Structure 1
Amino acid sequence: MQAVVLAAGEGTRMRPLTESVPKPMLPVADRPLVAHTADAAVEAGVDRLVFVVGYEAQAVRDHFGGSYRGVPVEYAVQEEQLGTAHAAAAAREYLDDDFVVLNGDDLYDDAAIEALFATSPAVGAYEVEDPRPYGVFDIEDGHVTGVVEKPDDPPSNRVNVGAYHFPAAAADWLTEVELSERGEYEITDVVERVISEYAVEAIDVERWLGVGRPWELLEANEWKLAELDSRIDGEVKGDAELRGTVVVEEGATVEPGVVIEGPALVRSGADVGPNAYVRGATLLAEDTHVGHGVEVKNTVVMTGSNVPHVSYVGDSVIGPDANLGAGTQVANLRHDGEDVRVTVKGERTSTGRRKFGVVVGPRAKTAINTSLNAGVVLSADARTTPGESVTRDR
């Protein structure tokens, strides 16, 4: 059985983190986001992985190569992002049997993926309190009888999570979808056709996360870091103290006086301390540096970034090759008790989180004693001045 993994999107809502990397390749714990989906498919017994690529496709190709964990890998190119059916149709030449379609920028619980592979045809259905913003399934006796997009009066509270097991005949149907009112070729048109001709089972998805915005990347890391088992392969010096689930990879160094409270992952080439405090669900990616007197809490620090001296960073996402100058302080809590808001594609958007810090773009640098307000986004290559209090996106 083939699995089509949709990984062509540009990830504009994740900017500036996706300036030069596709969203599915952003780091989630010890691997890229899309690799969690690929691993679930491999564990479920997939015979071939087909990645649909587009924006910055080479990053996906470089990671997965021609074979991944013993499973052959193919690549289909979506030149323009014209919808989910359009993306899946790019893989048509590789489909000769039942096939599963999965979003490469979503996380699903592994048991649901296993059940999806074992059931044909089927769709993944996730229960939410308010289904109105989603595509919603009409379900009778465990079988799907319809799907409605963003209904005012939802037929159920079980929503579409972009996980499908299609019969072989649906491969041709992908190419026959007509342009929707939104100007896209929608895979739900294929779902409706399958529903009309087959008994389609609804597979319960116990846990699901669509990772489209920076705070959802933080949430994805909170999820997957919590699943790691402690492992110390790198160098932990002197009186450094590791509490809870902590992974220190080979080639990483933890200096004396450091306290790390997991779940935390210190990747190869990273250096922590001396006298730093790392806590919460924190990822210190490859070749990062957290220096003397720094506290990092519940944060993703991407490859090559530095927080060298006496700074606080909480509930934040720090892009690759960024540098936070000495004394940089990140605010991560609004005093009025409201959820922190972040500007996404020009619109102020609630994170749904009472605590959220900042998003720092690739190669951005803060000067000494910079203060960053909760919800601030620093674009790629942004700069601050010494002693500056930044309350607006830069």
Structure 2
Amino acid sequence: MTERSAIVLAAGEGSRLRPLTKHRPKPMLPAATKPILEHVFDALIDAGVTEITTVVGYQRNRVQSHFGPTYRNVPIKYVKQEKLLGSGHALLAAEDDHRDHQGPTLVVYGDQLVDGDIVADVLESHDEDSVATLGLIPTDDVGEYGGVLTDDGEVTEIVEHPFDDREYTLNAGVYVFDDLIFEAIRGVDPRVGEQSLIDGISSLVDDETASVRGVVSDGLWVDATYPWDLLTIAEDLLARGGVDSQVSADAYVHESATIVDPVVVPADCVIGAGSVVGPNVCLGENVTVGSNVSLTHAVVDADTRVEDGATVRDCVTGRGARIGPGSTVVGGPSDVQINDAVHRDVDFGALFADHAHDEGGSTFAPGVIVGADAYVQAGATLRGTVKDDVEVRS
């Protein structure tokens, strides 16, 4: 396999991650200290990709302004998906660009964390006798995603959200396709107005004249479906070396503060006197942690302030959020409602979306979601969900 161009599908919103995705698409949410999409680009480049086409749509300017025309000296071309009509429709948007390249095409999802090992395994396993090769992950937990059945490496069936007891592997969303994939996508009937990439692949599987292969990889794959998954992603990256646990020499950490590894503290961050930060804490750029703060198991995005005396556990913040002095994010298991679904016994303290503002002295019960630009007056006790732009009085 000599082809080293790639198409990255990064047009979706990530509705189950709202309100974090109110101002940016899911691929731009933080995986530890940098966007999910940046990790995907790193995986592609580490595997030898030399040119990337990125399909963008929802809040596309957030992607384009962050990366610009190149990343790590690799050119990036942006293709706009005019309407969000499914993953197959997104790939078709890049078809004209594909015509400029010879050979099969590497395709990956830009909103799921994969490492270079999975990409390399798929590239190395694809051969000219196959119309498609899929990257697969061995796991018992495929119910939320796509399960793949294989026979001696040949894909025999793809089942979305399987719940039977057959021996599935997980579809990692890393593919190599030849040109037949575009015809296959157009040849299947849309579902609920969307063209599905999986339906296109399934039609190739059902074609007895075509060979669709699967390769099992032990590389890292993590998806952020819900806000608390960002905590899992950070933990996995720290545990597997996907990001180094470190405190930048340019960060200000008071001599009486305690750092409990693993943590990531970039330059321009401040940690005040007597604070305890960690384990499993990732701070974004220009984060301020005040004095006598306890901050554990958290992903704190850029420009956020955690004020003096706050206790924060199992927490995710957006950009520019504020957790006020003396406030407590209890943490621990909770029932969390996302859209119309209630998720039971989730270890999740709270989510503070972009520019959510807490005046201080407040208590946030496990599972609280504070919307973007919401304002919480001092001394409030919160449960459930606070909508965007709402003021909560104590």
TM-score of the superposition, structure 1-length normalised? Answer: 0.88
The Cα shift of 1:10 comes to 1.3
Secondary structure of residue in 2 paired with 1:299:
strand
* Cross-structure match for 1:35: 38
Secondary structure of residue in 2 paired with 1:214:
coil
Secondary structure of residue in 2 paired with 1:316:
strand
* Cross-structure match for 1:346: 340
Secondary structure of residue in 1 paired with 2:307:
strand
Task: Indicate which of 226, 237, 243 corresponds to 1:224.
Answer: 237
* Cross-structure match for 1:99: 105
Matched, 1:50 2:53: yes
The Cα shift of 1:323 comes to 1.1
The Cα shift of 1:378 comes to 0.6
Q: Distance in 2 between matches of 1:128 and 1:228?
A: 20
Matched, 1:390 2:382: yes
Which shifted more, 220-229 or 357-366? Answer: 220-229
Q: Distance in 2 between matches of 1:165 and 1:229?
A: 27
The Cα shift of 1:126 comes to 2.2
* Cross-structure match for 1:248: 248
The Cα shift of 1:58 comes to 1.2
Q: Distance in 1 between matches of 2:118 and 2:301?
A: 30
Matches within 5 A, 1:42-121: 42-95=45-98, 96=101, 97-120=103-126, 121=132
Give, as a single letter, the amino acid of the residue that structure 2 aligns with 1:342. V
Over the matched positions of the two proteins, sequence identity in percent amounts to: 31
The Cα shift of 1:52 comes to 0.8
Alpha-carbon spacing, 1:272–1:38, altered in 2? closer, same or farther (3 Å): same
Q: Is the 8 A contact 2:237 2:243 kept in 1?
A: no
Q: Is the 8 A contact 2:188 2:203 kept in 1?
A: no
* Cross-structure match for 1:144: 155
Q: Distance in 1 between matches of 2:356 and 2:163?
A: 43
Q: Distance in 2 between matches of 1:3 and 1:274?
A: 48
RMSD: 2.0
Alpha-carbon spacing, 1:262–1:6, altered in 2? closer, same or farther (3 Å): same
Secondary structure of residue in 2 paired with 1:342:
strand
Q: Is the 8 A contact 1:229 1:247 kept in 2?
A: no
Give, as a single letter, the amino acid of the residue that structure 1 aligns with 2:122. L
Matches within 5 A, 1:324-343: 324-333=323-332, 339-343=333-337
Q: Which runs of 4+ in 1 moved over 6 A?
A: none
Matches within 5 A, 1:1-394: 1=3, 2-95=5-98, 96=101, 97-120=103-126, 121-151=132-162, 153=164, 155-180=166-191, 182-195=192-205, 196=207, 197-206=209-218, 207-226=220-239, 227=241, 245-248=245-248, 250=250, 252-333=251-332, 339-350=333-344, 353=346, 355-394=347-386
The Cα shift of 1:228 comes to 5.7
Q: Distance in 2 between matches of 1:71 and 1:249?
A: 29
Alpha-carbon spacing, 1:292–1:174, altered in 2? closer, same or farther (3 Å): same
Give, as a single letter, the amino acid of the residue that structure 1 aligns with 2:174. A
Secondary structure of residue in 1 paired with 2:385:
coil
Alpha-carbon spacing, 1:279–1:93, altered in 2? closer, same or farther (3 Å): same
Q: Distance in 1 between matches of 2:107 and 2:359?
A: 46
- What residue ranges of structure 1 are gaps of 5+ in the alignment? 231-244, 334-338
Q: Distance in 1 between matches of 2:143 and 2:330?
A: 33
Which shifted more, 16-25 or 220-229? Answer: 220-229
Alpha-carbon spacing, 1:152–1:294, altered in 2? closer, same or farther (3 Å): closer
The Cα shift of 1:262 comes to 1.7
Q: Distance in 2 between matches of 1:149 and 1:368?
A: 45
Secondary structure of residue in 2 paired with 1:60:
helix
* Cross-structure match for 2:391: none
Alpha-carbon spacing, 1:143–1:111, altered in 2? closer, same or farther (3 Å): same
Q: Is the 8 A contact 1:132 1:154 kept in 2?
A: no
Matched residue pairs, number?
371
Q: Deviations 1:64-95 (Å, cap 9, x if unpaired)?
A: 22222222211111121111101111111111
* Cross-structure match for 2:392: none
Alpha-carbon spacing, 1:47–1:98, altered in 2? closer, same or farther (3 Å): farther
Alpha-carbon spacing, 1:130–1:364, altered in 2? closer, same or farther (3 Å): closer
Give, as a single letter, the amino acid of the residue that structure 2 aligns with 1:42. I
Alpha-carbon spacing, 1:200–1:287, altered in 2? closer, same or farther (3 Å): same
TM-score of the superposition, structure 2-length normalised? Answer: 0.88
Q: Is the 8 A contact 2:118 2:135 kept in 1?
A: yes
Q: Distance in 2 between matches of 1:152 and 1:257?
A: 52
Secondary structure of residue in 1 paired with 2:156:
strand
* Cross-structure match for 1:238: none
The Cα shift of 1:116 comes to 0.9
Give, as a single letter, the amino acid of the residue that structure 1 aligns with 2:368. V
The Cα shift of 1:201 comes to 2.2
Give, as a single letter, the amino acid of the residue that structure 2 aligns with 1:264. V
